[in-house]
Chains A and B, each alone.
Chain A
Amino acid sequence: METLSLLADGFAVALTPNTLFLAVVGCFLGTIIGALPGLGPSNGVALLIPLAFSLGLGATESLVLMTSVYYGAMYGGRISSILLNIPGDEPALMTTLDGYPMAKQGRAGDALVLSGVASFVGAFLATIGLMLLAPMLARVAFLFGPAEYFALYMLAFCTLGGIASNNQAKAAIAACIGLGIAMIGLDNSTGLPRFTFGELHLMDGVDFLVAIVGLFAVTEVFVFIESHGRSSAIGVTLGKITIPFRDIGRSMVSMLRSTVVGFVAGILPGAGASLGSFLAYMSEKSLVRDNHFGKGDPRGVAAPEAGNNAAAGGALVPMLTLGVPGSGTTAVLLALLLTLNITPGPLLFTERPEVVWGLMASLLIANFVLLVMNVPMVKIFVKILTVPPWVLLPMVTMISFVGIFSLSGSTFDLLLMIGFGVLGFFFRKLDVPTVPIILGILLGNDMEDSLRRAMTISDGDPTYLFSSWIAIVLWVAAVLGFVAPMFLRGVLKKPQAVTD
């Protein structure tokens, strides 16, 4: 009950006409930012920090605006995933796998509404979890050392094979290419640069947004040009827009399970929303019976969206209670708090309750605003599909270029992005899935760092990797995730390719 009264205080802070207006503005901007390829939630928030300062907003107002943008971008990322097969940001990567096939079947509206509802369920429950459990959950971070993190990443990579291709070997090759790209940059364990060729731009490695936009958006352009505009993947048929109650009902269990998976992944610093949506998708794929994941299964849309939005909420746990950001966006939010002279850490909940509960209240507000805003807006979004591809593709390309240029303000990233586009084109021809490449880039660095740290701590003793029960459980899950599909394949029907 104490929680409720604290939350009521939070609402008193957050529910003024002014802040409500900011929440609506933030949610709208966030949705747009999330939907644009090359601009993700962390850009969205970083982009608006200076705006908050120049508007002279107070601490609570700034927080409301930023969290609205944060959640809004998490919702918005799915839109271009579903409509264009181009993930709007990295957590929306998994949504392309079933969202786009759904759109191709003329169910774009259904997919958008369903994913909107799934986003709401994931984000809403995660916010509740955050309110009730944050101080307790903070201790979870103390249980995860290098060995445990390494096992967690191994779990992700072991389940990767069945993700997106008939051909396990091609998925494995793709993942290895991604891992290879992740090795570029400063080696954290020695401080020495690797594969940078003396190029300062490569010192921090390859930004995965550059890779995503290159491999998805730019590749799409090349395919379009090659076929003289005939075989573009863009340009799907438009169905009637109704609320797909049946799909929502059928996916509810998937949403709830994915929320839990995503939330837990979010709590672990370093795992974040991308891993959350990935694990949610993969676990649903193996748990749901007679699914057709990869071919436009509504549950394949609901699971990653619930997962990544829940992870977004979960990532706030270590950020608020330890000052350790669990994702790129929470790192930017942490920056915002610091500039507002609020230092997240173990004492935040006791020393600055008004901030914490104001934030919680604004998260809840943002969620409801987004649900109300997103469902009717689907009608506007699907209008994008009526734009002919020869108009739409150049526009998406231009937006991608602007988005990527804004990362570092250098043309180097643009060239790199085009390079990825060419690479993606050949992979498309060879039927090599690109999603594992992105996951390799996203997770490869952290996986390597975990292993190297574990080896430093243990003086190179490999048994250290299995030295705690958490690590052992994760390893067992990883081995099962790797081996199980090989046996199940004979029993269940063959997984189908979705790369097209």
Chain B
Amino acid sequence: MFKTVLRRGTAAAILTLGLGGAAMAAECIAPANPGGGWDFTCRSIGKIMFDIGAVDAPIQVTNMAGGGGGLAFSHVVNERNDDADLIVAASSATATRLAQNAYGGATSDQVRFLGAIGADPGVIVVANDSPHQSLTDLIDAIKADPSSVTFAGGSAAGGFDHLKVLMALGRAGFDDVRAVKYIGVDGGADAITQTIGGFTQAMTGDISEVVGFLKSGDVRVLASFTEERIPGFEDIPTAKEQGIDVVAVNWRGLYVPKGISDDDYQKWSDALAQVGASDAWAEQMAANGLAPFNRVGDDFQAYVDGVIGEIQTLSREIGVIQ
């Protein structure tokens, strides 16, 4: 229900264009409702871009929710393919859905990925009174009795939150993916609520979703899916330290239409790089629990292609796609 309610965020952009007369400003499409990660990406990156002078006019944010980002993707590919004044928020979810062919046949080479300048590290969380003290504890419990643990996450089944769990279990030698119980609820906070309430045994999500509950002592983080421990959360062990070699971060980045000139692409990637290096962005990252993750330009395109290939292989392995 909320997903549909929120689609109306789009009203914002359309009517504000009328109100404010911000005629020719560049536009950032957040392919979701206000409040999600994509919306954050557009609003904070767009704002900082203007504040530090990387662009001349304020960037107009449009919320275009639908099809898990698919609507915005096809809008860009089909209708705005040469619009040089357009950037679109993207994340690991975009790559996951492209990899799983969830955008109605659209493929990642129909746009150009611009860059990512921050990432939200994946975490596994349990309620404070949970008997599981480490990620390996939890995995052992699942190995002993798969039906004893249900995971809650903010994405639908087969989404990135679900995949992270399956990746970790796969690395630990547990391959019976259909036995793993996962329920997709309306966002990370809801998933935590269900876990604290004892209805599910663990929550899979991003660190930014759990910070408040972590500080209030309602939950414990068993592991982060990062190379190193997350800055500011040094007491959370990584999955890698616990012998489970999974790195899964939800990067926050942008793509642009395929048909724009190389000069325009360069202009945008310079602007994004400037934001990535700014103090204002560092503050935003700290406030929102993001870890540094800097890949801009062609380097990023290569990275995304690699990730998509990896997710495709994995999704096939676990049976999410054929």
Nearest Cβ distance between residue B71 and chain A, in whole angstroms? 5
The answer to whether A408 touches B65, judged by C-beta atoms less than 8 angstroms apart, is yes
B184 within 8 A of A: yes
A202-260 contacts to B, CB under 8 A, are: 203-209
Q: How far is the CA of A54 from the CA of B60 in the complex (A)?
A: 10
Cβ of B185 within 8 Å of any chain A Cβ, yes or no, is: yes
Q: Which of B20, B182, B212 is the one whose CB lies under 8 Å from A346?
A: B212
The digit string for A451-469, where 1 denotes a CB below 8 A from any CB of B, is: 0110011010000000000
Contact, CB under 8 Å: A40 / B189: no
**Contact: A335 with B8, CB < 8 Å?**
no
Chain-B contact segment, one of A280-288, A325-333, A385-393, A428-436: A325-333
Whether the Cβ atoms of A323 and B189 lie closer than 8 Å is: yes
How many residues of chain B get a CB closer than 8 Å to chain A's CBs? 76
A490-B74 Cα distance, complex, nearest whole Å: 58
Q: Flag whether A4 is at the interface (Cβ < 8 A).
A: no
Which one, B14, B147, B183, contacts A146 given CB within 8 A? B183
Determine whether the beta carbon of B71 is less than 8 Å from that of A408: yes
**Smallest beta-carbon distance A450→chain B, Å:** 10
User: Closest residue to A271 on the B side, CB-wise?
Assistant: B1
> Do the beta carbons of A346 and B213 come within 8 Å of each other?
yes
Q: Across the interface, do B67 and A200 meet the contact criterion of CB distance under 8 Å?
A: yes
Q: Which residues of A contact B65 (CB under 8 A)?
A: 204, 408
- Asked whether, in the complex, the Cβ of A203 is within 8 Å of the Cβ of B70, the reply is yes
CB distance from B311 to the nearest CB of A (A): 13
In the complex, chain A residues whose CB is within 8 Å of the CB of B35: 325, 331-332, 334-335, 338
Q: Which of B7, B19, B194 has the most CB of A within 10 A?
A: B7
Q: Which of B1, B215, B216 gathers most chain A CB within 10 Å? A: B1
Q: How far is the CA of A270 from the CA of B194 in the complex (A)?
A: 13
**A186 at interface, CB cutoff 8 A:** yes
- Nearest chain A CB to B14's CB is how many angstroms away? 5
Assuming the contacts A345-B212, A347-B216, A408-B66, asked whether A46 and B8 have C-beta atoms less than 8 A apart, the reply is yes
Tell whether, in the assembled complex, residue A204 and residue B67 are in contact, meaning their CB atoms are under 8 Å apart: yes
Main SS of the interface on chain A? helix
Selected contact of A347 from candidates B3, B10, B66, B215, CB within 8 Å = B215
A249 to B214 CA separation, bound complex (whole angstroms): 49
B66 to chain A, nearest CB (A): 5
CB distance B190 to A203 under 8 Å? no
Q: CA separation between A54 and B74, bound complex, in Å? A: 29
Residues of B within 8 A of A (CB): 1-16, 19-20, 22, 33-36, 39-40, 43-44, 47, 58, 60-61, 63-68, 70-71, 74, 102-104, 147, 150, 156-159, 162, 181-187, 189-190, 192-194, 196-200, 211-213, 215-216, 218, 287-288, 320
Q: Which A residues form the contact surface with B (CB < 8 A)?
A: 39-40, 42-43, 46-51, 53-54, 141-146, 186-191, 198, 200-201, 203-209, 269-270, 272, 318, 322-325, 327-329, 331-332, 334-336, 338-339, 341, 343-348, 403, 405-410, 442-443, 445-446, 449, 452-453, 456-457, 459
A to B CB contacts below 8 Å, 11 in the list: A46-B9, A47-B12, A50-B16, A53-B47, A54-B16, A207-B7, A324-B186, A331-B6, A332-B6, A407-B7, A407-B8
